[in-house]
Structure formats: C-alpha cells, structure tokens
Amino acid sequence: MTTTPQTSQTSQENHVTGATIWLTGLPSAGKTTIAYELAGRLRDEGHRVEILDGDEIREFLSAGLGFTREDRHTNVQRIGFVAELLASHGVKVLVPVIAPYADSREAVRKRHQAEGTAFVEVHVATPVDVCSVRDVKGLYAKQAAGEISGLTGVDDPYEAPEAPDLRIESQNQTVQESAAQLHALLTERGLL
C-alpha cells in the first residue's frame, strides 16, 4: 500500500498575519490612491490583500443607507466587521473610507482588539483646500454650487484622529512615498 505524503504549506503560509489598515481622511485626500499603491507592493511581496473601497461598499454592502450620522456609523461598522473577518484569516485589508466620526472608528478598533486582530489607523491629513483642488469626484464643486450638502469637512463634520498610528500629509510627498511610509510602519509593527 502506497501512502501519499501530505502536502505541507510554506512557512509564509503558516505564519500569515492579517491586519486591517484603515485610511481615514477627507474626500479627495488620497486615501484610495495610497491604498492601491500599497496593495500592489504588498501583492508583489506575496501578501494576500483586499481593498474595501468606501464607494464600492456603499453600492453593494450598504445600499440604502444615507449620510446621516446614524447611517454613516452603520456603514463604518459594516465595513469594520468585514475587514476584521478578512484580517482574522490572514488578509491585509486596506480600508480607504472617510469614517468621519471618532466614536465609529474607535468601535471598529475595539472590535479588532476584542478579536485579537491587528488594526492600524492612518490619517491621510490632506488639508481641505488641497482636497477641493484635487476634487476627484467633483464633490467640492457641487457643494460650492449648492447642488449637494453634507460634504464631510465642509458643511458636515470630520473628526480627525487625535492619535492615529500614522499621519500622512499627502500634499507634501508622492503617492509612492506615502505608501512607503505606511509599508515601513507595517514592517516595524511585525505585520509584514
């Protein structure tokens, strides 16, 4: 009788550390751009990576939610739940989501802590005047024209993190430098 040797996982697969990397900041701050830059680098290094983009989540997971404080909180908690679930299974989860309220972000952090899952909060601290010039989605122009209201950081509150794990001033460096700064932090924390 012949036995088949069991296939063994590589040491990298045996020691995969997941983490949620939450990039918060104003609209057009550069959150998503930095997330995609970092994701490419992490994938090149062999990491399992997912990006939970705020716009996609709004369309699929949080369809029907508005932009009231309660709906924004619900949206952030849903994203936080999915992020923690993925991260607990060894995925590096990049979350470029505004998440304007400190208590909502703190609730997500506490969920991660309770589950023993790494959580890194990154504040992409681009000033509103720079964001309004970038205006990737035309939101600032629509708000200025009176076509929309409730724009985070303009006529709706944004509670900037007081003590994020990392603060990136994207207006002072390239996307690659911002992603490298975040990569260095993850390395320092033993998450890569």
Binding site annotation covers 32?
Answer: yes
CB contact set of 56 (below 8 Å; sequence gap of 6+): none
Binding site annotation covers 27?
Answer: yes
Binding site annotation covers 157?
Answer: no
Q: In this structure, what DSSP letter does residue 138 have?
A: S
Asked if 33 and 175 touch (Cβ cutoff 8 Å), the reply is yes
Binding site annotation covers 30?
Answer: yes
Binding site annotation covers 26?
Answer: yes
* CA separation for the pair 191, 186 (Å, rounded): 5
* CA separation for the pair 173, 129 (Å, rounded): 16
Asked if 105 and 99 touch (Cβ cutoff 8 Å), the reply is yes
Asked if 165 and 121 touch (Cβ cutoff 8 Å), the reply is yes
* CA separation for the pair 83, 91 (Å, rounded): 9
* CA separation for the pair 49, 43 (Å, rounded): 7
Binding site annotation covers 28?
Answer: yes
Please enumerate, by residue number, every residue annotated as part of a binding site. Answer: 25-32
Annotated binding site for ATP: 25-32
